[in-house]
Amino acid sequence: MQTYETVRCDREDHVVVVTINRPEKLNALNEQLVRELTAAIDELDNDPSVYAVVLTGAGDKAFVAGADIEAMSDMTPAQGKAFADKGHALMNRIEQAHFPVIGALNGFALGGGCELALACDFVYASDKAKLGLPEVSLGIMPGFGGTQRLGRRIGPGQARELCFTGDMIDAEQALRVGLVNAVVAHAELLNKVKEVAKKIASRGPVAIAQAKRVMVRGADVPLPVALELEGQAFGQLFGTEDQREGMKAFISKPKRSPAFVGK
């Protein structure tokens, strides 16, 4: 893999931990970070042997404390639009990757950090995490997908309250509204999320890639179209080595664990 200044990738078998690495600025998203994180996800997506990715932040305080306010402070409307376009491209890249991306929210996940969490397939939070969309306190609004993805994840009423008040919520409140899947003791967060990623990586990788694709794509189209997508993907899996192996392992006597090859 390429080396990046603001992103670190550490691989353990089929799982890659991607760490956003700008801790002195609480991992705030500037143009370089958005560019490098997009490139890193792109590189990983071109590697079919990556089965799951964990996304976390460097340091002990923040996942990502938002888009970089200093960098945004003198943007023109055209520059603001271009920055939003780059943010959208990053979030779309994460959603369209063939592997699940699981967020490990190790502290503040604000603004662009909360939007990054929403682009992940699901997230676990440290008991010290704080989440929110504080953009309106700065006279702007969420621009990396938050106005659209938050409501889709937690419902429109909860999403509007968070967006319009700009309030931060703690991990337990985030759990209650369905913004995070679990709250984990701070020191155990990364190991816990890696464990979940390893479990995912032990299942049929082609099946997971197809399920992710259909779940992401299906959320934005009418139900009959989404069900057609599901049916086609389901059918295609019967042409894979993994389907034959998975079912053969189940029906063999004694039953054994499948050895998936990702084909």
Active site residue 241: no
Q: Segment contacting ligand COA (CB under 6 A): 133-141, 175-183, 210-218, 229-237?
A: 133-141
Residue 71's CB is within 10 A of a number of other CB atoms, namely 17
Q: How far is the CB of 134 from ligand COA (least distance, A)?
A: 4
- Give me the least distance between CB of 208 and ligand COA, in Å please: 32
Binding mask 138-167 for ligand COA (x = CB under 6 A): x-----------------------------
Q: Which is nearer to ligand COA, 135 or 242 (CB)?
A: 135
Q: Segment contacting ligand COA (CB under 6 A): 12-20, 21-29, 86-94, 115-123?
A: 21-29
Q: Which of 135, 172, 188, 241 is catalytic?
A: 135
Residue 117 or residue 214: which is nearer to ligand COA going by CB? Answer: 117
Size of the site for ligand COA (CB under 6 A): 15
Catalytic-residue membership of 115: yes
Alpha carbons within 13 A on the beta-carbon side of 29: 28
Please give, one letter per residue, the 3-state secondary structure of the chain. Answer: CCCCCCEEEEEECCEEEEEECCHHHCCCECHHHHHHHHHHHHHHHCCCCCCEEEEEECCCCEEECCECHHHHCCCCHHHHHHHHHHHHHHHHHHHHCCCCEEEEECCEEECHHHHHHHHCCEEEEECCCEEECHHHHHCCCCCCCHHHHHHHHHCHHHHHHHHHHCCEEEHHHHHHHCCCCEEECHHHHHHHHHHHHHHHHCCCHHHHHHHHHHHHHHCCCCHHHHHHHHHHHHHHHCCCHHHHHHHHHHHCCCCCCCCCCCC
Residue 67 makes contact with ligand COA by CB under 6 A: yes
Among 9, 110, 131, 162, binds ligand COA (CB under 6 A): 110
Q: Which is nearer to ligand COA, 71 or 211 (CB)?
A: 71
Member of 4, 51, 99, 108 binding ligand COA (CB under 6 A): 108
Among 40-48, 66-74, 151-159, 220-228, the segment contacting ligand COA (CB under 6 A) = 66-74
Chain contacts with ligand COA (rule: CB under 6 A)? 25-26, 28, 65-70, 108, 110-111, 134-135, 138
